[in-house]
Amino acid sequence: MTSLPGAASFTSEGHGANAGVGVLLSHGFTGSPVSLAAWARYLADRGYAVSLPLLPGHGTSWQELQRTPWQRWYEEYESAYFTLRERTSCVVSGGLSMGGALALRLAARQPVAGVAVVNPGLTFGDPRARYSGVLKYFLKSVPAIGNDIRLPGQDEGAYPRTPVGAVHQLRQLFRDTAASLPAVTAPVLAFRSRVDAVVPESSMEVLRRRLLNAELEVVPLENSYHVATMDHDAPLIFERSHEFIQHVSSGVRA
């Protein structure tokens, strides 16, 4: 199926002193690389080898996402990790929302230097999500969850509907990732919006409670909603993540 305009993946080979450091990013559920394009370009401009894949079932139609199991999202992300790892000395995983869950799951299974996530999803605010495994047989889709952005004029390129079957897949991913968190040992930098209509605060509570063997730093975002990488606080995210990557990769940059 043809991808939606602007939804293509992004890669950068890296240059200069930071070329030996890979940064792997992931967009969120029902979204596309549009939401992280500016972050990816910012890091690429600073010389990192950057990969921002388009996840299966995304960037096409919500009906396509309805047919896509969560394992394919993770496999695509992990495949991009292996490609980066072949040509870099270390990799930092990162992502927005569901992409944050993928980044944390990867860190529990593969060696990464650090994890940088923005409003990572691990739980649901809508109580109907727990029944999505049954509801999917009666209700194909619900209203969109995209574009929770305070800054006017932004569009993350999310689907106009949210497929209920895919919500059930997302619930399984969240549950699996939460169970994996004790295996994460790399430092984690989490950016958290004060106001977020998509990911509830319970996601951060799970992260704090289950991240038993890794250092966690939480940076509050005072002037952004859920898609903070396209919001007022985007420059803060970009600059602090750059500093974080420099710190966790020190001594291994090729």
- Which residues are CB-contacts of 82 (< 8 A; sequence separation ≥ 6)? none
Selected catalytic residue, list 27, 51, 196, 242: 196
C-alpha 52/C-alpha 10 separation (Å) is: 5
Selected catalytic residue, list 12, 51, 97, 141: 97
Selected catalytic residue, list 226, 231, 241, 242: 226
Query: For residue 233, what are its two tokens?
Result: 């606080």
Active site residue 203: no
Active site residue 226: yes
Angle at 240 between CA 238 and CA 242, to 5 degrees: 70
Nearest alpha-carbon partner for 122 in 28, 215, 33, 187: 28
Active site residue 196: yes
Give the active site residues.
Answer: 97, 196, 226
